[in-house]
Structure 1
């Protein structure tokens, strides 16, 4: 008589792991039910990455047991895990850029023509075409190079490669970090389809809205321990966030005492044909002003124009009472403007430079005397900002690529704090960082405003804008549709504005 399979496909019990003297996991237990989507969340350093590396066989636990499909594993290797039907969809795609799609899909398991050493390319194309059509409804050219594919297409290749092996479990590690909304929506449809087909999914993400929308259950890690496992039908994103940081979600946004002061930045009828039209606004000293809008609404292009990265055709910009036109970022920086871009890894920081070099790169003139850099002053400023922003690093000389995403974002902000800017332009300042890092960034933004800086925050996180800003400007099809005060704003009303449904309703009435 065959024993029916257990409802639990993966069970980890009492897992402990240390690196040197640092305890990464302290008795973590986790049970993944078959055919479900199970979320795994926690702030940076909570133990998520270590736990997944243990499951992948990249590390061995110091204590505890791991069972996969009822089989207790005493020594896990990547090959053993894959042979048991567990595949990992990594954030860093791990595909050879010079391979074709077909070569990447069948790397290491190339089918051969029977009785010959030759590759069976027809079978490769047929199997790839079947899986791509079934799960994605598309066809990728078999001869296309991986390097020439979009981010979403590379992810599709990685997922297809796993599906060809008919996996039991797929582990997605921050899969939407580099995807636009349309691509992310397609991924969510796929994951729901996988669940319908009986494939178990472990989903790791900083985006709690995704966890809430996709997952059946979620496990929260904090300081190397599993602090809760909950059914999503019985919890909410705000409760999950509270468990991650061990505080009430209402404490996320700091309360500011000072009222905004005199104007710092005035924009009058700024226009760039095809991007935005007749944009006017005023940013006051001590104010946090929010901008939001869909991709293509003109909000991002407008923010880039203020820093000299794009050019307007007409209109005026006044900075602290003086007419100003930023033809370049250098001139904008001289006017004491600072931009923290959305893609910090490509545009905000230099990953192969140290924390110190990144922090002072925009303000070296402050530390230069007679052409020589005052290293003592430079190091003192870096250490001050590391402490002030609570940057978690081995030291000022650590390479920036060794820091977590949230700490890289803090260094991107530190660069402009060192320059002592007056106006901060923050483009999606908390994208891709965990909830604890968000809280610290929110506190920093509030502190900048309290000390008299003006801050413009462009964000697609509507809850964030309501909690963080004084006013919110909604961009729609290149124009400012509306200005609302944050204390009276609601997520539903903002969402209706950014999507244009409020205008449709109004015109229909």
Structure 2
């Protein structure tokens, strides 16, 4: 149902959502949200995980129908739209997940659903030629001839998505966390493209956790908190710290909470450990109650070393001792049996089971605790999952909710929580702060501190150097397969770490590596 907006001397905004309400059972996901995107501008949308960003975007995309409220495009107002209708109005979406089939050529991906044909047949050569022309015209880029989508890097696939959207001559582009998997130079390229599109008259809605991107790119920013739009600010006059405070409704203050814990006995010790060409001659100790950081550029061997401690990469030299006894993890199952837990960076694909409930995920790693003569003790599972939901502050409709329905930060908490039901001795955390907002990160950091207080040893692999300095006791830096430096986190700075990680200095310290080159601050 639609109606024309009232006449006004000023042109209507490109996009205007008013009074949007959406409830899922007992959860009020959106509570009267207003969002206004002016013509030819970049408008930012920020908020903690669970603040309502994803629900609002799904209402805009026609995936969810709002319980009440209106959506106006170019002054034409609607109460409900289907995905096809919203696209016909000129609103197109660029998602963080790469939706193009990896086996398609560049031309096939660009023209999928609107193929160029010669008679009844798809004209693939024409698609490849036209695709190459469009990439040159829009972005002055040349992709390798005959390249498949699966062979492109993250930035190139992102550019393909943008080009495909531009073929439909959109009025509004919605970027949903587009830089999550991009390195810094790719982020800079993406932001330059978005500025160019804005200058050409497109209206942009940009959703991101990276407040430095928001500050440098956006003309205005809407801040969501607990399903409400609590502020609209100008990032040129509002600092990222002020925006962060609006997001969490408290002083961010101590971004990296860290308890004082006296280190105990050596829990894990490596001597001369090596694995093929991945890493070599690694000597290190991690003590009970200690949080140790591990970092390095891509190819440094840090990732493979972490995987060796969980039985996923087999060392071929040196020794590993756990609890003072020599051992070898022949598989991940073997590592788990000996009290080792791994929370991977790819939590959706490896850290949680998205189609299982919160209860099932939280008790998955410790099922033996809840088994009685081969049968699961349901009430005991329920009590444990309720305890962890409360302790970790997991935002969920209930223990029976599917994990795939949770925000990224809450999925991360579930990925950590499932190991708490097992009470492990060594926790391996791979990029624990990636892709989650400032509030969720602080809660994750507090949880890491509680693990240390309980006497566990924690090894954190991260490319976020302020994170490592803030939450760890010591930081180990790897460079080209070897340990290049070890630093006291209380007395180190980012520049020295980065110099060590890049080989510019034999003894240094850290901040934000060209993370997997990701050099942007996540909040």
TM range (shorter): 0.7 to 0.9
CA distance in 2, matches of 1:361, 1:505: 41
Q: What is the alpha-carbon root mean square deviation over aligned residues?
A: 3.2
Moved more, 24-33 or 72-81: 72-81
Matched, 1:354 2:354: no
Match of 1:85 in 2: 90
CA distance in 2, matches of 1:121, 1:10: 36
Q: Is the 8 A contact 2:26 2:397 kept in 1?
A: no
Matched, 1:327 2:340: no
Matched, 1:198 2:201: yes
Moved more, 477-486 or 445-454: 477-486
CA distance in 1, matches of 2:385, 2:80: 44
1:217 pairs with one of 195, 198, 220: 220
Distance change (3 Å), C-alpha of 1:283 and 1:61: same
Matched, 1:242 2:241: no
Query: What are the residue-to-residue correspondences of 1:336-355 with 2, within 5 Å?
Result: 336-355=339-358
CA distance in 1, matches of 2:18, 2:152: 41
Q: Is the 8 A contact 2:106 2:128 kept in 1?
A: no
Pairwise CA distance, 1:367: 3.1
Q: Is the 8 A contact 1:239 1:249 kept in 2?
A: no
Instruction: Name stretches of at least 5 consecutive residues in structure 2 with no aligned partner.
Output: 1-7, 510-523
Q: Is the 8 A contact 2:487 2:508 kept in 1?
A: no
Match of 1:42 in 2: 47
Distance change (3 Å), C-alpha of 1:18 and 1:343: closer
Distance change (3 Å), C-alpha of 1:22 and 1:400: closer
CA distance in 1, matches of 2:21, 2:326: 61
Match of 1:431 in 2: 434
CA distance in 2, matches of 1:195, 1:148: 29
Q: Is the 8 A contact 2:108 2:128 kept in 1?
A: no
Matched, 1:54 2:66: no
Q: Deviations over 1:84-104 (max 9, x none)?
A: 432111234444677665454
Q: Compute the TM-score of the two structures, normalised by the length of structure 1.
A: 0.87
Name the SS of the counterpart of 1:326 in structure 2.
coil
Q: Is the 8 A contact 1:133 1:139 kept in 2?
A: no
CA distance in 2, matches of 1:349, 1:66: 35
Match of 2:74 in 1: 69
Q: Is the 8 A contact 1:339 1:425 kept in 2?
A: yes
2:254 pairs with one of 237, 251, 255: 251
Pairwise CA distance, 1:275: 1.8
Q: Is the 8 A contact 1:131 1:163 kept in 2?
A: no
Match of 1:159 in 2: 162
Match of 2:4 in 1: none
Instruction: Name stretches of at least 5 consecutive residues in structure 1 with no aligned partner.
Output: none
Pairwise CA distance, 1:448: 0.7
CA distance in 1, matches of 2:468, 2:143: 40
Name the SS of the counterpart of 2:286 in structure 1.
strand
Name the SS of the counterpart of 1:234 in structure 2.
coil
1:456 pairs with one of 451, 456, 459: 459
Q: Deviations over 1:187-220 (max 9, x none)?
A: 3343343334333322112233433444343221
Name the SS of the counterpart of 2:476 in structure 1.
strand
1:485 pairs with one of 485, 488, 507: 488
Name the SS of the counterpart of 2:365 in structure 1.
coil
Pairwise CA distance, 1:286: 1.0
Pairwise CA distance, 1:171: 0.7
Pairwise CA distance, 1:333: 1.9
Q: Deviations over 1:441-484 (max 9, x none)?
A: 11111111111111111111222212211122222222222222
CA distance in 1, matches of 2:460, 2:128: 47
Q: Is the 8 A contact 2:495 2:508 kept in 1?
A: no
CA distance in 2, matches of 1:302, 1:202: 40
Q: Is the 8 A contact 2:12 2:75 kept in 1?
A: no
Match of 2:3 in 1: none
Pairwise CA distance, 1:157: 3.2
CA distance in 1, matches of 2:412, 2:183: 20
Pairwise CA distance, 1:137: 0.7
Pairwise CA distance, 1:431: 1.6
Match of 1:173 in 2: 176
CA distance in 2, matches of 1:136, 1:416: 48
CA distance in 1, matches of 2:293, 2:258: 16
Match of 1:10 in 2: 15
Matched, 1:471 2:513: no
Name the SS of the counterpart of 1:407 in structure 2.
helix
Query: What are the residue-to-residue correspondences of 1:375-386 with 2, within 5 Å?
Result: 375-386=378-389
Name the SS of the counterpart of 2:311 in structure 1.
coil
Pairwise CA distance, 1:14: 3.9
Moved more, 22-31 or 471-480: 22-31
Q: Deviations over 1:257-303 (max 9, x none)?
A: 33222222222232234222322222121111111221112111111
Match of 1:443 in 2: 446
Moved more, 378-387 or 418-427: 378-387
Pairwise CA distance, 1:61: 4.5
CA distance in 2, matches of 1:367, 1:323: 31
Match of 1:391 in 2: 394
